[in-house]
Amino acid sequence: MELLKCEVLSDLIEGFPFGYMVLIRGDLGMGKTLLVKLLAKSVLNNYPLLYVTFDDNPESVVDDFKNFSDRLFIIDGFTISDQRKVKSPNVIDFITEFDPGQVINKVGQAVYSKGVRGLIIDSINDLLVNVDPRGLIAMLKQLKALSRSRNLVSFIVAHVTTEDVDNLLNTVEYVFDGVIEMEFDENMANIGIPVRRLRIKRMKGISHSMNWFYFTTAKGTIVPIDINEIKNMLKNTLESLGVQIQGG
């Protein structure tokens, strides 16, 4: 089985199988787009990549991958309501409406014509709120079938912005081969320390850790942090102030 290696996640999983479609979900500001760009660069090291951008302008995407411009192909869903379309050789098509059929057709044409081995969609939130759930599931199943038939590794980003979106994602999760969750550690957040973490919730048929991976971001990458060290530092600080920690 051919695997896509990703150094920042190497402690959690050996790699992501080509032919799989993976959901990356979490609240805003968790680092999902950064993670997916690191995964995209892992693809671009060896293969062409199709990047469908709904959340960021194509110029920013091109700039992020300027060292791989000959392997990067973009479908622009960001300027859907803007007549000023980006004129870049990397932009090969445009999404003109939030229609699952159009998304499938344009992605499929690009995959076949450009011979890509990786697919990024960042994000599907515009589709989540504009498309009937049955149409959304049908689209996701077709993307999954495309990943299988063309041996793509596909990463789909979704921002959990509301309870309704969260519930909808829970409903469609079964379509994906794997799910990566990203969130704040609730216990640490409750005491005013925002610490981000991620885990591989599911990855069909692939050995992986389900432990939470605590991290921060620096210099365009994900950096692991030792949560136990932070907890011990906090405990020592509180005790030095005369605050007794239960069980300490």
CB proximity list for 218: less than 8 A, separation 6 or greater = none
Confidence of residue 234 (pLDDT cuts 50, 70, 90): low
**What are the pLDDT digits (tens) for 173-214?**
999 999 999 999 888 877 777 889 999 999 999 999 999 999
Cα-based distances in Å from 40 to 101, 189, 211: 25, 30, 23
Confidence of residue 235 (pLDDT cuts 50, 70, 90): low
pLDDT of res. 82: 65
pLDDT of res. 248: 44
Determine which helix (DSSP H) or strand (DSSP E) holds 61, and give its type and residue range. Answer: helix 58-64
Domain contains 230: yes
CATH code, domain with 37: 3.40.50.300
* Domain span holding position 45: 3-240
Domain contains 245: no
**What are the pLDDT digits (tens) for 61-82?**
999 999 999 999 999 999 876 6
Number of domains in the chain: 1
In 19-127, where do the E strands start and end? 21-26, 49-53, 72-76, 91-94, 118-122
Determine which helix (DSSP H) or strand (DSSP E) holds 135, and give its type and residue range. Answer: helix 133-150
